[in-house]
Amino acid sequence: MGDRIKVTIVVEKELPIVWETWTRPEHITKWNFASDDWECPSVSIDLKEEGTFSYRMDAKDKSTGFDFSGTFTRIETEKNIEYILEDGRKVSVEFSIKGDGTKVLESFDPDQEFSRDLQEQGWLAILENFKKYTESI
């Protein structure tokens, strides 16, 4: 699968707030999309090892959509989340204190369909939405 892709951001909020907005369905639906013409209308999440998740991703014009889903393999509250996507790719999300804020580092196996640059841009755009939303609450 090649080298992992990494994206990171610092959110100017305390770690417990960042963790909550990352893991609670009522928050995930408000930030989990790469651009304003997409939405995440529903989230199912069982945040425990071997628990599953599914985030529905839809274009607002209803032209396309997909389920982003997988199984959690490791959960360390306020530190780390690891999961395997349905296609077998592995993802890790690390949370750490950075000054007065919280650093979020995502690393993931790239898929073979899209360029690395496009994947990095898309995941970073979602991370930037997460930052914007979390800092607004």
Q: Give the mean model confidence (pLDDT) for residues 39-67.
A: 97
- The gap from C-alpha 11 to its chain's centroid, in whole angstroms, comes to 14
Q: Who contacts 97 (Cβ-Cβ below 8 Å, separation ≥6)?
A: 15, 103
What span, in angstroms and rounded, lies between the C-alpha atoms of 46 and 78? 16
Residues 84-132 pLDDT 10s = 999 999 999 999 999 999 999 999 999 989 999 999 999 999 999 999 9
Distances (CA, A) of 50 to 13, 78, 84, 107, 111: 29, 18, 10, 20, 22
Enter the CATH code of domain 5-136. 3.30.530.20
The one-letter amino acid code at 54 reads S
pLDDT at 2: 53
The dihedral region occupied by 77, where left means phi > 0, alpha psi between -120 and 50, and beta the remainder, is: beta
pTM above 0.85?
yes
| 3-state SS, residue 39 | strand
Q: What is the mean pLDDT of the chain?
A: 96
Question: What is the percent of the chain with per-residue pLDDT over 90, rounded to a whole number?
Answer: 97
